[in-house]
Copies of this chain bind each other. A is one copy, B any other.
Amino acid sequence: LTLTTFTEHALPYCVFSHGGGPPRVGAGLGTHIIDLELAFGDKIFAAPSLNGFLARGPRAWQRTRERLLGFIRGGQLTETVPIAEATLHLPVQVADFADFYSSLEHATNAGRILRPDDPGLARNWREMPVGYHGRAGTVVVSGTPVARPHGQIAPGHGRPDLAPTRKLDFEAELGFVVGAGSAPGRPVPIDDFAEHVFGVVLLIDWSARDIQAFESRPLGPFLAKSFATTISPWVIPLAALDQARVRPPAQDPPPLDYLRASQPWGLDIELAVQLNGQLVSRPRFAIMYWTAAQQLAHLTVNGAALRTGDLYGSGTVSGFRRDEMGSLLELTAGGREPLLLPDGQPHGYLADGDTVTLSGSAPGPGGSRIEFGCASGRVAAAADQPGPLARNAASASPGVS
């Protein structure tokens, strides 16, 4: 992979360390990182996460971006570090993580594959962005290896075994980072989206399809998703995406009032999925049926408060065309039809050693592109079972726990 080059229109934020120093907040420009504490003389940036800065709210985000642009245009920035020499860390201390299911094409594709006899969408799908909570503590930064998880797998109708997943998958998503919290009991109106959401990351929702199939009834996915979620180290501020805003697909039926925005929040972001360096798909975010603004309004309509650091995933970004599908579930028709890689090799679900890389870009001012960097993870072999499990099995009598 070649290094991303960030234009002054992008100015994404990151947490980096360099030369053995502690993690600190930076902004990407060209192939370098601007050290924001040195640029602004502000200790809020001498921190291992963006959270302190995010908590200052939208006026502070805007002022910081404007001052930084002023410095850049005035040639006043000297303290930068090459991205290639820095270590990039998880940019946000994640508070709560929720994940949605908001591409009509993905939901339709998945229904056809998983429920061929009854492929229809659930009755709620066109009424709300359906979602669930995930595990915040296992959100990791790009580059972190992802160990193949164990779980209960029950092929056919027999009893399950505990085994490493044989159907390890990715889902190509965007993640939305909440900067400014909200008060308990006060739903966030949809038009206040940009008052709360600071920016966007690339997100890989790792999924073990066989574990998911057995565990999910009736409470939804749990361990099939909770072992790891990878995000990019760069948070693209919403302010960098003005040129990317588009009208989302028409919604039929028209949604309830709280899901109607006065300004469109579709986003024309092009994603690309590479498997071991080979391009397998180019999902287009603009097709998403439910927007991130609708997701935020829905997430809070019951009065649930937002906190700085909340993260929510868009759901898999997929089209109907094979070269726009954002998961191996879809790209391989549930594992039944191998995906042919550009080099002609067939590929099924993820094998140990496979690397998945998600990248993205959006239109910027004057024909420029806003680059998102990438979110990448390599599949590591399943860990050995811990010793005590074998020991317990020998000492426990059936039926006693």
Residues of chain A whose beta carbon lies under 8 Å from any beta carbon of chain B: 95-96, 98, 101, 122-124, 127-128, 130-138, 140, 147, 149-152, 154, 159-162, 184-187, 189-192, 208, 211, 214-224, 226-227, 247-248, 250-262, 264-265, 291, 293-294, 298-299, 301-307, 310, 383, 385-393, 395-396, 398-401
The one of B123, B138, B224, B388 that contacts A189, using a Cβ cutoff of 8 Å: B388
Verify B137–A255 contact, CB threshold 8 A: no
Verify B127–A301 contact, CB threshold 8 A: no
| Least CB separation from A393: chain B residue | B257
Nearest-neighbour CB distance to chain B for A129, whole angstroms, equals 10
A261: chain B residues within 8 A (beta carbon): 392, 396, 400-401
The one of B147, B219, B386 that contacts A221, using a Cβ cutoff of 8 Å: B219
Q: How many copies does the complex hold?
A: 2
Verify B137–A95 contact, CB threshold 8 A: yes
| Least CB separation from A301: chain B residue | B150
Verify B222–A399 contact, CB threshold 8 A: no
The one of B123, B134, B255, B401 that contacts A260, using a Cβ cutoff of 8 Å: B401
Complex CA–CA separation, A243 to B253 (angstroms) = 59
Verify A399–B257 contact, CB threshold 8 A: no
Verify B399–A254 contact, CB threshold 8 A: yes
Complex CA–CA separation, A299 to B225 (angstroms) = 11
Verify A137–B398 contact, CB threshold 8 A: no
Q: Which of A127, A134, A304 has the most CB of B within 10 A?
A: A304
The one of B122, B130, B390 that contacts A257, using a Cβ cutoff of 8 Å: B390
Nearest-neighbour CB distance to chain B for A367, whole angstroms, equals 27
Verify B218–A216 contact, CB threshold 8 A: yes
Verify B187–A150 contact, CB threshold 8 A: yes
Verify A218–B122 contact, CB threshold 8 A: yes
Verify B187–A256 contact, CB threshold 8 A: no
Verify A248–B401 contact, CB threshold 8 A: yes
A251: chain B residues within 8 A (beta carbon): 399-401
Verify A219–B189 contact, CB threshold 8 A: no
Nearest-neighbour CB distance to chain B for A187, whole angstroms, equals 6
Complex CA–CA separation, A218 to B223 (angstroms) = 15
